[in-house]
Amino acid sequence: MPTTAVPLFDATQFNRRTHGSASLQVEVLALFVAEVERLMRQVEDAPDPQVRGDRLRALAGVARNTGAALISHEARTLETAIAAENPDLSQLKKAIAETFAFIQRTGG
C-alpha cells in the first residue's frame, strides 16, 4: 500500500474516460503500461536534466490521463529535483510497480 494520501488509481475517472468499455480499458491499459515503461527508461537514461524533466512531465501526463494518480504525483514531485545528477527514482519506481500490480490484479 502506498504511504501517501494520493490514491493509487482513480478507477472512476478511468471508467468515465473509457465510457465503461471493458475492451477499451484493456487496450488503454496495455498502451499505458508500454508507454510508462518507455518513458521510465528515457528518464533513467536522460543525458541531461532538461531531457529528464521533459520525460518526467510526459510520464506525469500519461499517468494523470489514465487515472494513475500516484505515478503522476511522484513524477511531478521528481520534476522539482531534475537538476540532480542522480535523482532518487525509488518512490516513482515503487508507484509504477504498485500501479502495474493493481492493473494486473484487476484484470487490466
Give tens-digit pLDDT for 82-97.
766 678 899 999 999 9
d(Cα 81, Cα 28) in Å, to the nearest integer? 30
Q: Count the domains in the chain.
A: 1
pTM higher than 0.75: yes
Domain contains 65 = yes
Domain contains 50 = yes
Domain contains 6 = no
Nearest C-alpha neighbor of 8 from the set 92, 77, 96, 68: 68
Q: In this predicted structure, what is the pLDDT of residue 2?
A: 47
Domain contains 3 = no
- Alpha helices for the chain (secondary structure H): 11-17, 22-45, 49-66, 69-79, 90-105
Q: Which three cell numbers stand for residue 62?
A: 500519461
Domain contains 85 = yes
Domain contains 4 = no
Domain contains 28 = yes
The domain in which residue 72 lies consists of 11-105
Please state, rounded to an integer, the average pLDDT across all residues of the chain. Answer: 91
d(Cα 39, Cα 101) in Å, to the nearest integer? 18
Domain contains 2 = no
Q: In this predicted structure, what is the pLDDT of residue 27?
A: 96
